[in-house]
A and B are shown apart, each in its own frame.
Chain A
Amino acid sequence: MALLEINGLSKDFGGLRAINGLDIHVDEGEIVSVIGPNGAGKTTFFNLITGMETPDEGNILFGDLNVVGLRPNQILQLGMARTFQNVRLFPAMTVLENVMVGQHCRTRAGVLGAIFKTPGQRAEEAIIEEKAKEVLSFFGTRLAGYRHDQLSMMLSYANRRRLEIARAMATEPRLLLLDEPTAGMNPRETVELTELIGQLRSERGFTIILIEHDMQVVRNVSDRVVVLDHGVKLVEGSYDHVSTDEKVIEAYLGRPAEREG
């Protein structure tokens, strides 16, 4: 069953057509990788489905609901959480607080509840904290112990990426959108994260869309690969199918030069 179904999605930036008539569907439980050269429209695609930008044309059906025109927080509430290519944490908040913000949409306490410390509010705070710690424990000892109270800006680059994933996980999504999760990581960390992406599906049951430049990662985790170029879908299929496709090679490497005789 399709969890996400996108039909005829288009977006212009002035004269530039960033996304052009895109049709994509993602089934429940799938891991789909979106690849393509720089400027292909991958991040714009994420921005459109999470509501951070409004599409000019097309439908985005999440479950059975058209999410076009909803605010980002409403879309998140429905169960679609993302990370960012250029890590965007809340730098002056602690690691734990960053993740606790993720729980915001799943909790209800108001300002008055916090002032009067109602039993409901206190119970909810305890649940938020417990949930946040549980999510962080997914990364083993990487974000454990004293790191909980560290400001997120003091983390290493790889840990910031992990924390972003944790923050998205804390929103209890059905669909997780990861924008270049291994960018800036060393090979060892990349291998580790590739394993974790698999576990995100097998243990947590998330459906995942992944933008990735590291072809090892793409090959190891994806059920299906979608190749974008200039805002259109070039090819779609298994990694082996896509990686040998001539159009893809052309998009990445360019056409072989005509040999002049």
Chain B
Amino acid sequence: MAQVEVPPAVVEVELRPAPPVDMRRALRLGFSGGAAMVLVAATGIVATFQERMVIDPILPLGLMFLYIVALAFGWMAGQPPQTLEGFAPARVSGRNYGAGTLAGGLAGLCIGVLVILMSVFDLRGVFVELSPALQSILTFDLAVPVAVVVIAAISAVAGALGAGIHALPTRTKKTLLPALTWVVIFSLMTDLFGQLFTGLSLDWLTTRLYPRRGGPLTITGAVIVFVVFLALHWYLSGRDTSMRQQVSAMPRRRRLGVRTAATGALLIVLYFVPQVMGPFVSQILVTAGIFLLMALGLNIVVGYAGLLDLGYVAFFAVGAYTAAIFTSPQSPAFTPQLALIAALPFVVLAAAIAGIMVATPVIRMRGDYLAIVTLGFGEIARILLNSEWLSPYFGGAQGITNIPDLQLGPFHFNTPQDYFYPIFLFVIVAAYITLALQNSRWGRAWMAMREDESVAEAMGVNIVTAKLSAFVVGAILASFGGSLYGAQIGSVFPHSFDIVVSITILVIIIVGGMGSVPGVALGAVVLIVLPNLLREFSEYQFLFYGVLLIAMMLKRPEGFIPSKRRAQELHQEEVAQDAWLEIYGEKGATGEPIPEGKT
């Protein structure tokens, strides 16, 4: 009955040479790179950050930003084509460097054209940022014809360097690039590292790296950072097996021991984080934690159950306002003045009711329609809280103030450092709930509903219950975030519950990786922590968001750290081929018998 499929015989085939690098692609990339460089110049990034030094005094951020674009496009142009079955792996040759140089040089010429145009016409009427100051930065104060040649030459070199990255041996690549990245990170996050070293009583390090307090990284500092991280990454890349593999190879008891120790160490580090990082960074972490809490909740609604909820902020508002009403003495209508912890059951109840209220009308709706209706709900919540009509209960635009701090027995939570702990406790609980539900009866029912609602129903899933429960679980997690937010800020106002919050949370889970807890956490770091740490670039925050989102959707639609299944879903053919190789190729090649059940 069961037919045994014979694995394809492994035959020695003469490999065909890999196709050469596509020069026409390099040409196209050159023009795209040129457009990107002109954009960088015209949006004012070059001129604004020319004074900001990455390495004092030799590398200004503005020009580095400009020529990094040339480098990146050179890297793309010089990329050897993917090795296909039956072809020899591509080697990096002069042609790769040629492609990189071509792309970089072309991109540089575009900037050259911009410089010529700027010297002939006054473009400031249209592009405000194309100022004489920019002109002088771009031309290095040289005569225009000379400058054009110089710019093109620098870009070409940058492009060639980019292409050269492909020629580096893997280990060098894995060492050099991270070390360079660390230099840039140390340079951009001066405040963060200054605070970190102060917290760790390493002030001497701060003076070494950043001689001017809060100033840029010096050459000595850059060299120190570079060497330290070079050594670190060299050591790490030299190991044959990663730590994770080593741990999973251990016997069960030892593995358990190592895991417990690692978790313990992590908890201890987490315990000291707020003390070491001080109020500024702690506040950022607290904000990120609240967003993370909500993102985990929305992940259940959107990632598991596939219900695109664009009004998720409504549940955040319900949590914040319920907690405020039950705890604040300034609550307009009803002042029980409970402790936050005693008010939590009411918060959960209110969130559950709100979840049911939103879910009920959308029970028979799918996809886009559901998204629009929830979008409406989000706005309704904000407008009601803001309205004169309900101001006797919610305080209208004045909101509710004087919300007391969280108090747990003898512990009084006051500063951002204090709030770090309860918020991360909630985050851990939410992460646990997410994971526990993934492999459960309702978790599967939600996923089935996401995949095909009518088939899920025909296979016995009660769609009404499934939708209600997904919304309720999501709403409760958001309401925890809301109540902690209110207590930490001390007041709640309707305008804090804008649609932008909903969008941000959604973007966090999309960028991070839908359905994956570490992914969502990384998403919160990228979208909440980084913009707050890099305040000096806040003018261009949304430009970077846009670029990030477009790049992600093109290159990595499954997010930074996708759940395993989503990655498979979006890269189906690749996985299918890999699986085939795994099953037949390697096993067949080594002549091992094919394991039972794989035929």
Q: Which residues of A contact B (CB under 8 A)?
A: 50-52, 71-73, 76-77, 81-82, 84, 88-94, 97, 100-102, 104-105, 107, 109-111, 113-115, 117, 121, 124-125, 128, 140-142, 144-146, 150-151, 153-154, 167-168, 171, 188, 192, 195
Contacts and interface: CB of A to CB of B under 8 A. Distances in A.
B437 A111 contact: yes
A121 B451 contact: no
A93 B441 contact: no
B441 A72 contact: no
A257 B141 CA distance: 93
B260 interface: no
A73 B463 contact: yes
A73 B461 contact: yes
A115 B444 contact: no
Contacts of B439: 125
23 contacts: A71-B457, A72-B457, A73-B458, A73-B459, A76-B459, A76-B460, A90-B451, A92-B565, A92-B569, A93-B448, A93-B565, A94-B565, A104-B448, A111-B437, A114-B443, A115-B436, A121-B440, A140-B1, A142-B2, A145-B597, A146-B597, A154-B572, A154-B576
Interface in B327-357: none
A167 B457 CA distance: 13
A9 B258 CA distance: 66
Contact of B440 (A88, A93, A102, A125): A125
Contacts of B569: 91-92, 151, 153
A7 to B, nearest CB: 23
A102 B451 contact: no
Interface string B571-599: 01001100100010000000000011111
Given A109-B441, A145-B598, A90 B452 contact: yes
A72 B566 CA distance: 29
Contact of A115 (B3, B437, B448, B462): B437
A93 B444 contact: yes
A110 B575 CA distance: 34
B597 A144 contact: yes
A114 B1 contact: no
B447 interface: yes
A141 B454 CA distance: 30
Contact of B444 (A97, A168, A171): A97
Contacts of B441: 104, 107, 109-110, 114, 121, 124-125, 128
B433 interface: yes
Interface in B284-313: none
A93 B576 contact: no
A175 B442 CA distance: 25
Contact of A141 (B440, B461, B599): B599
Contacts of A117: 436
Nearest to A168: B459
Interface string B28-42: 000000000000000
Contacts of B201: none
Contacts of B451: 89-93
Select the residue from B444, B445, B459 with max chain A CB neighbours within 10 A. B459
Contacts of B444: 93, 97, 100-101, 104
Given A101-B456, A115-B433, A151 B565 contact: yes
B447 to A, nearest CB: 6
B469 interface: yes
A141 B575 CA distance: 22
Nearest to A128: B441
Interface string B522-562: 00000000000000000000000000000000000000000
Contacts, number: 132
A100 to B, nearest CB: 6
A104 B460 contact: yes
Contacts of B459: 73, 76, 81, 101-102, 104-105, 167-168, 171
B455 interface: yes
Given A105-B460, A151-B568, A110 B447 contact: no
B473 interface: yes
Contacts of A88: 452, 455
A140 B462 CA distance: 31
Chain B, interface residues (CB within 8 Å), range: 35 or more
Nearest to A171: B460
Contact of B445 (A101, A151, A188): A101
B558 to A, nearest CB: 11
Select the residue from A71, A90, A124 with max chain B CB neighbours within 10 A. A90
A114 B458 contact: no
Interface in B419-448: 433, 436-437, 439-445, 447-448
In the A-B complex, the 7 residue pairs with the closest CB atoms: A145-B597, A105-B460, A114-B440, A90-B451, A140-B2, A76-B460, A72-B458
A102 B458 CA distance: 10
A213 to B, nearest CB: 22
Contact of A188 (B3, B462, B565, B575): B3
Select the residue from A81, A88, A124, A150 with max chain B CB neighbours within 10 A. A88
Contacts of B579: 150, 154
A140 B597 CA distance: 9
A90 B448 contact: yes
A203 B443 CA distance: 32
A141 B1 CA distance: 10
A168 B439 CA distance: 20
Given A93-B448, A144-B597, A145-B598, A154 B575 contact: yes
Nearest to A91: B451
Contacts of B598: 145-146
Contacts of B599: 141
B124 to A, nearest CB: 52
B457 A73 contact: yes
Given A111-B442, A128-B441, A52 B454 contact: yes
Contacts of A72: 454, 457-458
Contacts of A144: 597
A97 B442 CA distance: 12
Interface string B170-205: 000000000000000000000000000000000000
B572 to A, nearest CB: 7
A188 B3 CA distance: 9
A93 to B, nearest CB: 6
A93 B447 contact: yes
Contacts of A167: 459
Contact of A153 (B448, B469, B572): B572
A82 B458 contact: yes
B469 A111 contact: yes
